[in-house]
Amino acid sequence: MHATGSPEDLDAPFFEQLSIGQVERSAPSVTLSEGMAAVHQAIVGDRLRLALDRKLARDVLGLRAALAHPALVWDVAIGQSTVLTGRVIANLFYRGLVLMRAPLIGDTLSTTTEVVALRQTAPRPGRPTCGLAALRVRTTDQEGRPVLDFWRCAMLPLRDPAGDTGHADSFAEIPSQLDGQALRAATSSWRLDAFPGAGGGRLDRMAPGARLSPHGGDVVSSAPELARLTLNVAAVHHDRLRQDDARRLVYGGHTIGLAAAQATRALPEIVTIVGWHSCEHLAPVHEGDTLRSELELERLEKLAGGGALVHLRSRVCAHAEGDPAGREPVAVLDWRFVALVA
């Protein structure tokens, strides 16, 4: 006997298959290697000195291993969380991301993802019925020490287009401000005086509201390779037939990674990124788009031992491949993050 009909697609849940309190732990743990770091750097072009210069990392951190770029760390954690969001239509936002420790190359990351709120959206003409799932993502290292803790919101389809799950949770309890003590914890023992140009004072002369941009933009390339590297199993990042327009949706962390790389070009004083207040995906990004960002200084907090925490807002716009020079770019990202500067 041979089975007939199409095989049932079982490896990713629909919205109505999620439940409050559900915890997913099945994603493989990942050991951060020099090879992973090199591929990640080649795709997003990150220029963070401590992730590129082993001697400098030893001088600042007091350790022999190289620092894992924070963008690689959060990309792996997000990728591990996609076990629950393989059918994602879009990721709408991130909230309250804090790096509670700074992983090194050679550390192993494990992630659990908990469903904390569910809300079915109102039906719209011409749009499939879907729901929003608020997920809390927690990542630990090989010693069980906390590394990351954050929330993300994914839009997922319903198996039954006419279904009514009754889910109507509020997302108001998801935090959008970060705890100052938590932001300082991961880097409190670092020797910022060993960082090139430490104490230069350029940021001291910038008032809140000051804006700056790196010269030039960055083309989005190797999008499925980044998704594969970080274990991201969301089909929209791999399979063009999952989208109505037959164009693969670029993983949101790719856009964030390019924005982070542009931030370090504009502000080479950045030692590392320690947290995100929030991150909003405003519109889809596709491979071949060129991204440009503008940074706004929102707040500067001096640290007792030297250096400062600088609260920045990155607004990213995209020019689609083939767009004429005069066409207005599309706003695709609004990212409010906190960087440690020397």
Q: At what angle do helices 252-266 and 34-44 cross, to 10 degrees?
A: 80
Would you say residue 278 lies in a domain?
Answer: yes
Q: What pLDDT, on the 0 to 100 scale, is given for residue 315?
A: 98
Would you say residue 2 lies in a domain?
Answer: no
Residue 2 predicted with pLDDT over 50: no
- Determine the Cα–Cα distance for residues 120 and 144; give it in Å rounded to an integer: 35
Would you say residue 9 lies in a domain?
Answer: no
Residue 190 predicted with pLDDT over 80: yes
Q: 41-55, 242-256, 271-285, 302-316: which range is least confident on average?
A: 242-256
- Determine the Cα–Cα distance for residues 234 and 57; give it in Å rounded to an integer: 34
Cα torsion at 160, 161, 162, 164 (round to 10°)? Answer: 70
Q: Span 253-271, mean pLDDT?
A: 96
Q: What pLDDT, on the 0 to 100 scale, is given for residue 336?
A: 97
327 or 78: which carries more pLDDT confidence?
78
Q: What pLDDT, on the 0 to 100 scale, is given for residue 286?
A: 94
Residues 203, 300 contacting (CB under 8 angstroms): yes
Would you say residue 67 lies in a domain?
Answer: yes
- Residue 1 — pLDDT band, cuts 50, 70, 90? very low
Would you say residue 204 lies in a domain?
Answer: yes
| Contacts of 241 by beta carbon, 8 Å cutoff, 6+ apart | none
Q: What pLDDT, on the 0 to 100 scale, is given for residue 245?
A: 67
* pTM of the complete model: 0.92
Would you say residue 134 lies in a domain?
Answer: yes
CA dist 143 → 54, 58, 109 (Å): 23, 21, 10
Would you say residue 6 lies in a domain?
Answer: no
Q: What pLDDT, on the 0 to 100 scale, is given for residue 246?
A: 63
Number of domains in the chain: 1
Our CA angle for 197, 198, 199, nearest 5°, is: 115
- Determine the Cα–Cα distance for residues 248 and 235; give it in Å rounded to an integer: 9
Residue 7 predicted with pLDDT over 60: no
- Residue 18 — pLDDT band, cuts 50, 70, 90? very high
Say if residue 21 is exposed, middle or buried (CB neighbours under 10 Å; 0-12, 13-18, 19+). exposed
Residues 40, 68 contacting (CB under 8 angstroms): no
Q: What pLDDT, on the 0 to 100 scale, is given for residue 304?
A: 86
If you write DSSP's letter for every residue of 16-70 in order, what string do you get? GG--TT-EE--SPPEE--HHHHHHHHHHH----HHHH-HHHHHHHH--SSPBPPH
- Determine the Cα–Cα distance for residues 192 and 183; give it in Å rounded to an integer: 16
Residues 227, 78 contacting (CB under 8 angstroms): no
Q: pLDDT for 304-322, tens place per residue?
A: 888 999 999 999 999 998 8
- Determine the Cα–Cα distance for residues 115 and 14; give it in Å rounded to an integer: 13
Which of 301, 335, 67 is closest to 184 using CA atoms?
301
Residue 6 predicted with pLDDT over 70: no
- Residue 11 — pLDDT band, cuts 50, 70, 90? confident
Average pLDDT for the chain: 91
Instruction: Output the six-digit token pair for 8.
Output: 């049932």
Would you say residue 10 lies in a domain?
Answer: no
Q: How many CA atoms lie within 13 A of 232 on its CB side?
A: 29
Residue 182 predicted with pLDDT over 60: yes
Residue 229 predicted with pLDDT over 50: yes
Q: For residue 208, what are the domain limits?
A: 15-160+175-341
Instruction: For residue 69, give the CATH number of its domain.
Output: 3.10.129.10
Q: pLDDT for 215-227, tens place per residue?
A: 889 999 999 999 9
Q: Span 67-94, mean pLDDT?
A: 95
